[in-house]
């Protein structure tokens, strides 16, 4: 079987990726107290690039300082940090790797106290068991919606000028674009809501503005849910329609994922996995096959891949073009070099649990456990693949409380 993992991939805009392995976006939480770039970010991306990855996609960079998802987010609204941005870009490009930035707005999906208020398409609260953690948002005005679209484009242009190789719009996992797409979270009656066509107006406007700002030859992609896995939420049929619309507009890459904090399918935690899916490893491979039957846009799939054989099979069938790696290279940053040489992971990813049901069901434990490993690499240390989840939860609660306290002081 041909090892397509080693094959380059040329995107519709003409840019070429050196191999088929991509570090998918993960939360690094390595920004400064006032949400600026740190040497730790440069350090960790240098290590990932040296590990053989074809492309690095950064953790979500926020486009608005008033809307941060967590302490330690990086926020980019202008070019004030251009020198550090250029260092970050160069670090992610050693060994021939490419680096893209993921741009995001959390909408209502950020902890209480993180920001003065939260906003969303509509003032819809989270389900009851999460309302202690997430507040009820205020509905965005038309003027605010137009401003956010402009912010996505402006931030993309800043990263292009800094030497980054591409941009990924975060349209998945329950953040703002995902909220606009969902009939559960978006109950507007104007041009931004109501019908499925109106609900995808926002994401198409964001893409159009980003493309306008960076030009036709600069790679632009999106991370999109196959579905929300929530009653009354974003469905597969709607996702296929969004993908077709973006493909028609010339988007360069679509990364398929799924779920939200309320239903974290991206971690494999929402429901039992079918035997046929388990054998094929990836969580959303059936959906990418439906996309492939509909359009030829390059597809990246993240979530569930564990073995060289599973990755090669997905590529060889044509269901996907790129393999996204996240948790696996947070604990084994040199894994891409192993996979390219057809060697398996030294530390296979396994489920994490604290035994506290309310914590385990949100997906937050997964995020924080792997974020902690990334922070170790940012300090020049090695990850600890066997660290106990309860210890990480303990440190997260302390660090999060301190981070929220500092955020409130910054707002005062």
CATH number at residue 212: 3.20.20.70
Res 274 pLDDT > 50? no
Average pLDDT (116-132) is 94
State residue 98's pLDDT score: 98
Contact (CB, 8 A) for 256 and 287:
yes
* Residues whose CB falls within 8 Å of the CB of residue 135, separated by 6 or more in sequence, listed in order: 108, 112, 117, 118, 125
State residue 303's pLDDT score: 83
- Here the tokens at position 140 are 């965005």
Identify the residue whose tokens are 């002081």: 409
pLDDT band per the 50, 70, 90 thresholds, residue 226: confident
Contact (CB, 8 A) for 325 and 370:
no
Res 230 pLDDT > 70? no
**How close are the terminal C-alpha atoms of the chain, in Å?**
61
Among 302, 257, 217, smallest CA distance to 22 is for 302
Q: Long-range contacts: 116-120, Cβ < 8 Å, 24+?
A: 116/66, 116/411, 118/67, 119/67, 119/144, 119/176, 120/176, 120/179, 120/185, 120/186
- Here the tokens at position 385 are 């693949």
The torsion defined by the Cα of 268, 21, 220 and 101, in degrees rounded to 10, comes to 80
State the chain's mean pLDDT as an integer: 89
Q: Which domain holds residue 215?
A: 4-411
Q: Residue 266 has what DSSP assignment?
A: G
Share of the chain above pLDDT 70, in %: 87
Average pLDDT (394-411) is 61
Cite the beta strand spans of 85-197 per DSSP E.
Answer: 98-104, 119-120, 138-139, 166-171
Question: How long is the chain?
Answer: 412
State residue 409's pLDDT score: 54
* Residues whose CB falls within 8 Å of the CB of residue 332, separated by 6 or more in sequence, listed in order: 338, 345, 346, 347, 383, 385
Res 265 pLDDT > 60? no
Residues 274, 117: Cα–Cα separation, whole Å: 40
Res 269 pLDDT > 90? no
Res 367 pLDDT > 60? yes
Interior angle at CA 326, CA 288 and CA 73, nearest 5: 115
State residue 228's pLDDT score: 62
HEC sequence for 116-148: CCCEECCCCCCCHHHCCCCCCCEECCHHHHHHH
Residue 224's DSSP bridge partners are 171, 256
The count of structural domains within the chain is 1
Res 275 pLDDT > 60? no
Average pLDDT (137-160) is 98
* Residues whose CB falls within 8 Å of the CB of residue 3, separated by 6 or more in sequence, listed in order: 312, 340, 342
* Residues whose CB falls within 8 Å of the CB of residue 68, separated by 6 or more in sequence, listed in order: 35, 62, 75, 106, 110, 114, 115, 407
Res 10 pLDDT > 70? yes
Res 216 pLDDT > 50? yes
98-112, 163-177, 341-355: which range is least confident on average?
Answer: 341-355
pLDDT band per the 50, 70, 90 thresholds, residue 163: very high
């Amino acid at each position: 079987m041909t090892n397509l993992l080693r094959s380059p991939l040329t995107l519709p805009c003409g840019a070429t990726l050196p191999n088929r392995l991509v570090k998918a976006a993960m939360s690094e939480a390595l920004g400064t107290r006032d949400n600026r770039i740190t040497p730790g970010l440069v350090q960790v991306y240098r290590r990932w690039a040296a590990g053989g990855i074809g492309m690095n996609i950064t953790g979500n960079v926020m486009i608005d300082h008033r809307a941060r998802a967590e302490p330690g987010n990086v926020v980019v609204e202008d070019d004030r940090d251009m020198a550090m941005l250029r260092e970050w870009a160069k670090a992610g490009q050693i060994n021939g790797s490419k680096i893209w930035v993921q741009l995001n707005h959390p909408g209502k999906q950020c902890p209480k106290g993180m920001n003065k208020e939260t906003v969303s398409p509509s003032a819809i609260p989270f389900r009851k068991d999460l309302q202690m953690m997430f507040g009820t948002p205020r509905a965005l005005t038309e003027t605010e919606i137009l401003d956010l679209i402009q912010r996505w484009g402006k931030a993309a242009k800043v990263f292009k000028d800094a030497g980054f190789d591409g941009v990924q719009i975060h349209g998945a996992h329950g953040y703002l674009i995902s909220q606009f797409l969902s009939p559960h979270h978006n109950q507007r009656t104007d041009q931004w809501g109501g019908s499925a066509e109106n609900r995808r107006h926002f994401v198409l406007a964001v893409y159009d503005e980003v493309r306008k700002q960076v030009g036709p030859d600069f790679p632009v992609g999106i991370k999109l849910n196959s579905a929300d896995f929530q009653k009354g939420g974003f469905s597969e049929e709607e996702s296929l329609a969004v993908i077709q619309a973006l493909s028609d507009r010339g988007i360069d890459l679509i990364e398929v994922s799924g779920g939200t904090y309320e239903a974290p399918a991206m971690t494999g935690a929402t429901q039992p996995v079918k035997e046929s899916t388990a054998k094929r490893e990836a969580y959303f491979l059936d959906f990418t096959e439906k996309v492939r039957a509909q359009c030829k846009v390059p597809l990246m799939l993240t979530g569930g891949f564990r073995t060289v054989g599973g990755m090669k099979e997905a590529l060889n069938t044509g269901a996907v073009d790129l393999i996204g790696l996240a948790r696996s290279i947070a604990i084994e940053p040199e894994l891409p070099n192993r996979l390219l040489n057809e060697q398996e992971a030294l530390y296979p990813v396994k489920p994490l649990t604290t035994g506290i049901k309310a914590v385990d069901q949100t997906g937050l434990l997964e995020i924080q456990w792997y974020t902690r490993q990334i922070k170790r690499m940012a300090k020049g240390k090695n990850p600890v693949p066997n660290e106990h989840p309860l210890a990480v939860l303990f440190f997260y609660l302390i660090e999060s409380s301190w981070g929220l306290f500092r955020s409130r002081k910054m707002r005062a």
